Structure 1
């Protein structure tokens, strides 16, 4: 029997029960706080939206408020037909967002690990990352589409990765740089190298920063998907917005924008709730937001 197992078996049952109860309370508090933040954000968005429609002086023919969108989707006579029209567009944008999110996060993680292992790699690659960040994506999109092909999954992946990469990379690098120097020194004393220190100390300790990168990347991935649909595929919400605007279908236009905004907020808060649950179970205090 290992020493750790022996300590667990000989521990005070009351102390173990109290520890579990404290973790359960902390978990419920973090979930409640996350749901409360999500409700506040949703209410603020609705109020701002209604204020813009009511007080901006835009013609009611063009500007549609929350009630108009609700009636279009749920209360009108043709609501079922309207939902059937919007559902494939939303699904396509979610698929494209997932592609950009996955490729962007994986690229950011790989680059962050390589940068942590080699300053030469960082010096050679980081300027390119910064260049992609500073150049407007619309200006380089024709080159991306020329290389990857118009309407292809590759074009969606490249555009989404460019949008997601830099903020995710910056957050993950920050987390890896905060590793305990004492723990890394212990690894080196026992003969471990950079890779061992990274695997045993830096990466486990960068969990909060990894979740922060995921949260930031969710709206970035949706933005990248909309850009890819607008510039390359012509599908999903991004492609439909152009068609709705050109055909003066303003109710559909506002509904599409409202749906993708709502979905982005939901995805962001889902990631935040998962983050809080994981960090509490790992014994790390979630950040107060």
Structure 2
């Protein structure tokens, strides 16, 4: 039964990913046609030539994927920092209303203020290295993940809370043994949202702070009117974001089929 549920979940995830890719491709073609400026708007053929069939395709591809590697590293740092902070803070919020009244306003302020406005202060405090990437990308991840995880933790069964308390368990035992397992769907929903968010945060950090990766490469190429390179960089990072989202969805299917509330059912 679990294998059947996993198969259905993976098939659904692959179908959704294929649909999104087709929609992005069609939107791309439509935008190019509407702009009707071959110098600025580059279509699929132009990007394919830049990356695969042109004379300098090997060098172009090597440069693009080198920048992509930097961006994926930065996104992983921001994702890890933001998700760990969200999980720890969500647990603290569920255990203490006082923590919630302190943390949530700060989290909302960080979400409301544009990151570009906070960037000079972040760079001043943390420099232009990995710490700045972790902070900027982590801020993008933190708030939506925190809200989703808190909602999931609070959705656990009150009857199960009472059972743990009857057997001498503390509020912390309830959090670890009841609330977190019940929050798995919300946790994975937060992960799916945070994966592209972490990449966006990494791109912003590269542009405003580190001067490396796709975030900086796009701005640099645009400033030099290297429009084929701009479009290739954008398309590559978009496709990778979709693939990582799909990977998170497939991982969610496996984990929930084994450990979720419907584990073992058809």
The TM tier, using the shorter chain, reads over 0.9
Q: What do residues 3-53 of structure 1 show as CA deviations (whole Å, max 9, x unaligned)?
A: xxxxxxxxxxxxxxxxxxx22222111111111111110010000001000
Q: Is the 8 A contact 2:35 2:41 kept in 1?
A: no
What is the aligned partner in structure 2 of residue 90 from structure 1?
Answer: 68
Matched, 1:164 2:129: no
Match of 1:132 in 2: 110
CA distance in 1, matches of 2:255, 2:42: 40
Q: Determine which of 16, 19, 22 is the counterpart of 1:37.
A: 16
Once residues 124 and 284 of structure 1 are traced to their aligned partners in structure 2, the CA distance between those partners, rounded to angstroms, is: 32
Task: Point out which structure has higher relative CO (alpha carbons under 8 A, 6+ apart).
Answer: 2
Report the CA distance between 1:56 and its aligned residue: 2.8
Once residues 48 and 257 of structure 2 are traced to their aligned partners in structure 1, the CA distance between those partners, rounded to angstroms, is: 38
Alignment of structure 1 residues 46-57 onto 2, 5 Å:
46-57=25-36
Distance 1:219 1:33 in 2: 20
**Match status 1:175 vs 2:152:** yes
Q: Does 1:254 align with 2:234?
A: no
Query: Cα RMSD (Å) of the superposition?
Result: 1.2
Task: Summarize the alignment of residues 90-239 of structure 1 with structure 2, pairs less than 5 Å apart.
Answer: 90-149=68-127, 151-239=128-216
Q: 1:270, 1:248 → 2: CA distance?
A: 34
CA separation in 2, counterparts of 1:162 and 1:178? Answer: 25
Matches of 2:168 and 2:7, distance apart in 1 = 42
Q: Which residue of 2 aligns with 1:24?
A: 3
CA contact (8 A) 2:184 2:260 kept: no
Query: How far has the Cα of 1:84 moved from its partner?
Result: 1.2
Counterpart Cα distance in 1 of 2:102 and 2:6: 43
User: Structure 2: where are the runs of 5+ without partners?
Assistant: none
Of residues 248, 251, 256, the one that matches 1:279 is: 256
Deviations 1:160-204 (A, max 9, x none): 111100000011001101010100011122222211111110011
Which protein is bigger by CA-based radius of gyration? 1
Quote the Cα distance in structure 2 between the aligned partners of 1:91 and 1:204: 34
**Matching residue of 1:12:** none
Deviation of 1:283 after TM superposition, in Å, equals: 4.9
Aligned residues: 263
Q: Which runs of 5+ in 1 are unaligned?
A: 1-21
> Does the C-alpha gap of structure 1 residues 253 and 282 become closer, same or farther in structure 2, counting only changes over 3 Å?
same
How far the C-alpha of 1:278 sits from its partner, in A, is 1.2
- Say if 2:137 and 2:205, in contact at 8 Å, map to a contact too: yes
Q: Please report the TM-score for the alignment, with normalisation by the length of structure 1.
A: 0.89
Structure 1 residues 283 and 140, CA gap change in structure 2 (3 angstroms)? closer
What is the alpha-carbon distance in structure 1 between the residues aligned to residue 235 and residue 9 of structure 2?
Answer: 27
CA distance in 1, matches of 2:18, 2:261: 25
CA spacing shift, 1:233–1:32, aligned 2, 3 Å: same
User: What's the CA shift for 1:125?
Assistant: 1.6
Q: TM-score, normalised by structure 2?
A: 0.96
